[in-house]
Amino acid sequence: MKLQLKEQVKDLNKGIQGFTQAAMLLKHINADTLRDDLTQAVCDRAFIGEDKLPRNEKAFKEQIKRARSRLPAVKEALSRYLQETAAAYAELNGKLGKHPLTHLLRLRLQTLLAPGFATRTPWAQWPRLPSTSKP
């Protein structure tokens, strides 16, 4: 489907709203790695989501139509979730120095928000992800 929607995917790589700020807050993840991970997460959700995989050409073409219409909404939602998660991470990371279990908490955070977290995080968990990083 990426080949069929290559222009939309190219635009997606360029314009995830708030990406620069989120990448600076999540500085432990390389910006290009984060961008690729987010692109893949948006594509996974927009292209297939909860739908069954297409089994014939007609179903594939219908899936492409659905994917094309879902892509902007998924991109916007993931952008919002990313900004909230990055802000919560930065706030918590700033307060960790005062906690006696700083090392363990930092390790837990880095495991939760490690490179590839966007594609590993189930879509239903994204709205709750910022709360797992709040102080």
Q: What is the DSSP string of 6-64?
A: HHHHHHHHH--TTHHHHHHHTTTS-HHHHHHHHHHHHHHHHHTTTSPPP-SHHHHHHHH
DSSP 1: -
pLDDT at 106: 84
Report yes or no on 71 lying in a domain: yes
Distance in angstroms between the alpha carbons of the first and the last residue of the chain: 40
Report yes or no on 88 lying in a domain: yes
Report yes or no on 1 lying in a domain: no
Whether residue 94 is predicted with pLDDT greater than 90 in this model: the reply is: no
* Residue-wise pLDDT tens digits, 20-75: 999 999 999 999 999 999 999 998 998 888 888 889 999 999 998 998 889 989 99
Total domain count, the chain: 1
Report yes or no on 96 lying in a domain: yes
pLDDT at 114: 93
Report yes or no on 109 lying in a domain: yes
- Average pLDDT of every residue of the chain: 88
Contacts of 123 (CB under 8 A, 6+ apart): 45, 49
Instruction: Give 135's pLDDT tier (boundaries 50, 70, 90).
Output: low
